Amino acid sequence: MKRISLALAAGSMILLGGATACSSATGAAAADPAAAKAAAGAESQAGTQAGAQPGSPAGSQDGSPEVIAAPAQVQVPPGNKRAATFHGEGVQIYGCTDGAWTLTKPSAIMSDGGKAVALHDKGPIWTSTVDGSTVAATAVPGKAVQHADAIPEILLKSDQDSGKGVFGTVTYIQRLATKGGLAPKSSCNAGDVTATPYSAEYAFWTAN
């Protein structure tokens, strides 16, 4: 009998254009679609890369993007400015491959000041629930900071943008201040799926 271990069992509520959508995780499921349901509830240069750009649309109460300390290994190249910083919270979903846990996808909600503003899913891709813009990105090889108790902090480069909103011209994304999200250390059986809770700060950059 196939066993599915879900580390997250939580409900989430997202306010989209005045309509409220609810999703909840369950501790028992039979396939990846069920894991996706569980996941539904559930990234400044020079050192700290400080220097928030004024007039940005999101990221802090005064309208400028929040500045999160970034390790030197994941600094964004010159010629870019921080456009927004969102808090991400959700799960990292793992499937069992040859007896070992393998990352399938992330599934998280991006929030700004406690308000849900975007979704993060397989790709990885980020989709604004405010203006519909999207950005897909790929981790830059060698640009990562490993942690024993959390998924790594990483630098990603945009592959494709769409729309005219907050993600429409993103060039780079930093995943910073990560907590949790690691795969279980236990062995697994074919067909097993698990969702591990995590959080991170995501900094989105655009060209100067």
Q: Rounded to a whole number, what is the largest CA-CA distance in the chain? A: 57
Residues in the chain, pLDDT under 50: 1-58, 60-62
Range of the domain at 117: 11-207
In this structure, are residues 83 and 203 in contact, taking their beta carbons and an 8 Å threshold?
Answer: no
pLDDT of residue 174: 98
Structural domains of the chain, count: 1
36: in domain? yes
1: in domain? no
Alpha-carbon gap, residue 41 to 91, rounded angstroms:
8
Alpha-carbon gap, residue 110 to 41, rounded angstroms:
11
6: in domain? no
pLDDT of residue 68: 84
2: in domain? no
Task: Look up tokens 């999160």; give the residue.
Answer: 68
Q: Which of 101, 149, 151 is nearest to 124 (CA)?
A: 151
pLDDT of residue 66: 72
Q: How far is CA 126 from the centre of its chain?
A: 8
